[in-house]
């Protein structure tokens, strides 16, 4: 885990021995389960540390800065990770930010079972697992407008993804979206959707992932107004007919 430790130091994110061990166990489970189901194409240990763990942690300083908080933030904010897959970015953020009250959402039952194993093995507290689609859960009163933070990484193009994510965020909360090299082009097409859904872009920043020579951006959207009740639209429409 030396790559993780060095990278976290560069990001000024302190990690205890216990937290490093949690990352080690997470990586081991990812490799074990990946042999029986498709969780990630990245299997090399060093690459997992860079392209999954540090890539997720790289957004944390921006969030802390927007919150006016130290690293890691001490506030026990409620965060939902939409389309979490194998737990990214939610689980790395939870390990590094223990006070986070995390809800992991994914539509695939097998991935939820994997995450249940991860939560138990890492002894993570205040983590809820939910199987379901964002279009349906975003209309459910138990989830709609209930979160201080909503995160997403590698789920869909921005003009679709904002419709998945913003309905979950309370007024005054933040959507934290991780994107790759096509982020600028996607952002231009997503500005209308952000406005319609009640958001305002507060940061659209390139981020440097330690030891990774690939373009990354993090988009922070502040929720200014409640999302109109017609959104999210029914399953499939956000992809087929993005705002």
What's the pLDDT score for residue 154? 77
**Predicted local distance difference test score (pLDDT) of residue 215:** 85
The mean pLDDT value for 87-101 works out to 97
pLDDT at residue 125, as a whole number: 97
35-67 confidence digits (pLDDT tens): 988 888 888 899 999 999 999 999 999 999 999
Mean residue pLDDT across the chain: 94
Q: How confident is the model at residue 175 (pLDDT cuts 50, 70, 90)?
A: very high
4-13, 48-57, 115-124, 151-160: the lowest-pLDDT one: 151-160
2-240 topology per CATH: Rossmann fold (3.40.50)
Lowest mean pLDDT of 18-32, 135-149, 181-195, name the range. Answer: 181-195
Q: Domain boundaries in the chain?
A: 2-240
Question: What are the DSSP calls for the chain, one per residue?
Answer: -HHHHHHHHHTT----HHHHHHHHHHHHHHHHHHTTS---S--SHHHHIIIIIIHHHTTHHHHHHHHT--SS--S--EEEEET-TTTTTHHHHHHHSTT-EEEEEES-HHHHHHHHHHHHHTT-SSEEEEES-HHHHTTSTTTTT-EEEEEEESSS-HHHHHHHHGGGEEEEEEEEEEE-TTHHHHHHHHHHHHHHTTEEEEEEEE---TT--S--EEEEEEE-SPPPTT-SPSTTHHHHS--
The pLDDT assigned to 155 comes to 81
Average confidence (pLDDT) over 13-41: 94
Q: Considering only 101-105, 153-157, 203-207, which range has the smallest mean pLDDT? A: 153-157
Task: Look at residue 78 in the predicted model and tell me its pLDDT.
Answer: 98
Mean pLDDT confidence for 209-232:
93
**Global pTM value:** 0.95
Which pLDDT does position 38 carry in this prediction? 86
pLDDT at position 9 is 96
């Amino acid at each position: 885990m030396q790559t993780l430790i060095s990278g976290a130091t560069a990001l000024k994110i302190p990690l205890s021995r216990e937290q490093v061990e949690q990352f080690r166990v997470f990586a081991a489970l990812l490799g074990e389960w990946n042999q029986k189901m498709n969780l990630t194409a990245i299997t090399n240990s060093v690459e997992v540390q860079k392209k999954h763990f540090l890539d997720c942690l790289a957004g944390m300083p921006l969030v802390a800065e927007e919150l006016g908080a130290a690293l890691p933030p001490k506030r026990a904010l409620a965060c939902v990770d939409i389309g979490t897959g194998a737990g990214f970015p939610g689980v790395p953020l939870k390990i590094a930010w223990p006070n986070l009250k995390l809800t992991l959402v994914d539509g695939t039952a097998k991935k939820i079972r994997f995450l249940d194993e991860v939560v138990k093995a890492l002894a993570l507290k205040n983590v809820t697992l939910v199987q379901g689609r964002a279009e349906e859960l975003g209309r459910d009163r138990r989830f709609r407008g209930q979160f201080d933070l909503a995160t997403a990484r590698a789920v869909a193009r921005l003009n679709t993804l904002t419709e998945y994510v913003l309905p979950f965020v309370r007024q005054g909360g933040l959507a934290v979206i991780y994107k790759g090299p096509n982020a600028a082009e996607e952002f231009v097409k997503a500005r209308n959707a952000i406005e319609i859904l009640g958001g305002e872009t507060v940061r659209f920043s390139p981020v440097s992932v330690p030891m990774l020579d690939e373009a990354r951006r993090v988009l922070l959207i502040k929720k200014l107004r409640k999302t109109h009740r017609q959104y999210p639209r029914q399953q499939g429409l956000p992809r087929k007919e993005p705002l």
